[in-house]
Chains A and B, each alone.
Chain A
Amino acid sequence: MGALSIRDLNVWYGKQHALKQINAEIAQNQITAVIGPSGCGKSTLLKSLNRLLELNEQVRVEGQVWLDGEDIYRRDRDVTEVRTRIGLLAQKPFPLPMSIYDNVAYGPRIHGLARGNLDQIVRAQLEAVGLWAEVRDRLHSPATRLSVGQQQRLCLARTLAVEPEVLLCDESTASLDPISARGIESLIRTLRDRYTIVLVTHDIDQARRLADAVLFMWLGELVEYGPAQRFFEQPQEALTQQYLTREIG
C-alpha cells in the first residue's frame, strides 16, 4: 500500500514550464528524498503528488500520478480522498485555529474515523510524535501556545490522525531549531515502516542520513534517481557529482 508511480508529469505556472516530463516509481515503506537547488521544482513535484498544486489558479498539470494502481488525476477522482491518503507535513508548522486536542481530532472528525473513541485517537497520535507527556495537562489550550518545534510535531500528529498511506514532507525541518529538527528527523525515520515517505530537502546531509532512495532535480528536470547508497557513492550523472561536491547549486 502506498506505492506511487509518476508518469510523464508536466507542470506549468502560466507559461513557465516548471516540471518537465517527470517519470519515477516511488517504492512503498521507504524514504525517498527529493533534492536539488532552490527553484528546481522540488516542492512543485511534492505538491503535485497530493493535488495541492491546483489551489494555485495559474497552474496546469499534465500527466499521471498512480497510487496503488489508480491515477489520482483521473477526472472523476475525489480530491479529498486523494489528500486523505497522501498526507503533507509542510515547511512551517501551521496549526489550525483550535485547541491542541481539536487540531488532532479535526481530521478524524471530518472523515468520520472517530466512532466514539476520539480521545484514544488523539492520545495515540500525540504519543506517536512524543508530545503527549508535554501537553496532556493542557489539551484544550490554543495550539499556538506551543513552541515551534512542538507545533511541527502537532502538525505531524494531525496529519497521521487521518491515517494516510503516503507522507509528504516539504522541508519540514527547515524552519526549526537544530534540536527540534533532529526530533522530527528521528520521528520520520520511525515512520518508515508504516508509510511511504517522500521528503523534499535542500540539505544533502539530511538526505544522506534518512533516505533509502534519492531523486535529484535540476531546473524542473529529473536528473538522477536511484538507491541512496549508489546515488551518493557512485552518482551516474556529471551534474549529480557536481551538486554533491557542491560545485553547483
Chain B
Amino acid sequence: MKQVRRRRVRRALEEQCFLWLMRLSLLGAVGVLGMIVGVICWRGVGALSWEMVSSLPEGGFYLGREGGILNALVGSLYLACGATVLALCLAVPVVFYLHTYASKGRLRHSVRLALDILWGIPSIVYGAFGFAWMVSLGVRASLLAGILTLALVVLPILARTLDEVVEMTPVLLRESTLALGATRLEWMGVLLRQSLPGLLTAILLAFGRGIGDAASVLFTAGYTDNLPDSLLRPVASLPLAVFFLLGTPFPEVQARAYAAALILTAIVLGVSTFAHLSLARLGRYVIR
C-alpha cells in the first residue's frame, strides 16, 4: 500500500515538473516575440506618422528631414505579392503532379529532398544567383529581377507546406472520387477544394517570408526613392529601408527604422488575421 501511494506521489510530481517546464518554454517563445514587438513599438511609435506611410522620402530624409517610406511600402507589397503568386503558379502544379500522376514514390521523395535543401539555402545565395543571371543577361536591378529571385526563395516554403497538406488527404477521398469515373485532373479539382485551408496557410508563410527578406532583393531589386512605375526599374523594399535607416548615426533617423519595422510587422499581422478569418469559410466543406 505504502509503495503504491509513494509511486502515485512521484507520478504526480513528475507531471507537475513537466507541466512547468512546458509553461516555461511557452513563456520563453512568446516572451522573445513580445520583446521584439515591444522594442519596435517603444522605439518606433514616436517616429510613426501619417506622413511616414503616405509620402516619398524627400531630399535629406535619411538625415532627419521630411518624408516617408511609401516607396519601400509599395515596393515590398509588389515584391512579396508578385513572388508569392509566381511561386504559387509553380508550386501548385508541382505538388499536385507529384500526388496524382507521378506513380513512383521515388520521384516524390527526390523532389521533397530537393525542396528541403532549397529551403535551407540562405537567401543571400539566391540574391547572388539572381545577380549572376542578371549580369549574364545584361539586366539591371529591377522589380522583375527582385520578384523572380524572391519567388525562388519562397517556392520551397510554398511547395513543401502544400505537399504536407496534400499528403494528409484521406486515401478514401481519392478512391471515392475516382470510383465515380473522375479523371485524375478532375480528382485534382476535388483535392484542391480539400486542400484550400492548407493552401492558404502555405501562401501566408510564403508571403511573410517574402516580405521580410532583405538579402535576396539587395542586389536584384536595388533601391530607389521613387515609386515603382515599371517592372524593369529598381524598386525599394521595407527590409532594406530598415537597414539603410538603421545605418545612419542620427537617433531620430534610427527611430524611423523602427517605425518601418513596425509597419512591416503590422502588414504581416494584418495579412495573417485576414487569412485566419477566411479560413473558417474556406474550410467549411473540408472532410476531416
A90 touches B285 (CB 8 A): no
Q: Which residues of B contact A95 (CB under 8 A)?
A: 287
Smallest CB separation, A137 vs chain B (Å) = 18
Q: With A57-B105, A92-B172, A144-B285 known to touch, is A97 a contact of B181 (CB < 8 Å)?
A: no
Interface SS of B by simple majority: helix
Give B48-89 as 1s and 0s: 1 = Cβ < 8 Å from A's Cβ atoms.
Answer: 000000000000000000000000000000000000000000
A155 at interface, CB cutoff 8 A: yes
Bound: A162/B178 CA distance, A: 12
Q: Which residues of B contact A50 (CB under 8 A)?
A: 179
Give A144-156 as 1s and 0s: 1 = Cβ < 8 Å from B's Cβ atoms.
Answer: 1000000000010
Closest to B169 in A: A97
- Count of chain A to chain B residue pairs whose CB atoms are closer than 8 Å in the complex: 76
A87 touches B179 (CB 8 A): yes
Q: Which of B103, B176, B190, B284 contacts A90 (CB 8 A)?
A: B176
Q: With A92-B172, A97-B193 known to touch, is A142 a contact of B179 (CB < 8 Å)?
A: no
Bound: A99/B193 CA distance, A: 12
Closest to A80 in B: B181
B194 at interface, CB cutoff 8 A: yes
B180 at interface, CB cutoff 8 A: yes
A96 touches B177 (CB 8 A): yes
A158 at interface, CB cutoff 8 A: yes
Q: Which residues of B contact A52 (CB under 8 A)?
A: 175, 178-179
B181 touches A110 (CB 8 A): yes
B178 touches A83 (CB 8 A): yes
Closest to B192 in A: A97
Closest to B171 in A: A55
Closest to A108 in B: B180
Q: With A52-B175, A96-B190, A97-B190 known to touch, is A144 a contact of B287 (CB < 8 Å)?
A: yes
Q: Which residues of A contact B103 (CB under 8 A)?
A: 57
B174 touches A162 (CB 8 A): no
B13 at interface, CB cutoff 8 A: no
Q: Which residues of A contact B193 (CB under 8 A)?
A: 96-98
Q: Which residues of A contact B22 (CB under 8 A)?
A: none
Bound: A52/B176 CA distance, A: 10
A142 touches B284 (CB 8 A): yes
B186 at interface, CB cutoff 8 A: yes
Closest to A89 in B: B179
Q: Which residues of A contact B180 (CB under 8 A)?
A: 83-84, 87, 106-107, 110, 158-159, 162
A111 at interface, CB cutoff 8 A: yes
A94 at interface, CB cutoff 8 A: yes
B173 touches A96 (CB 8 A): yes
Closest to A159 in B: B180
Residue numbers of B with Cβ under 8 A of A are 103-105, 170, 172-183, 186, 190, 193-194, 284-288
Q: A52-B179, A110-B183, A143-B285 given; name 9 further pairs at CB < 8 Å.
A: A83-B179, A87-B179, A94-B172, A94-B175, A96-B173, A96-B177, A97-B173, A97-B194, A144-B287
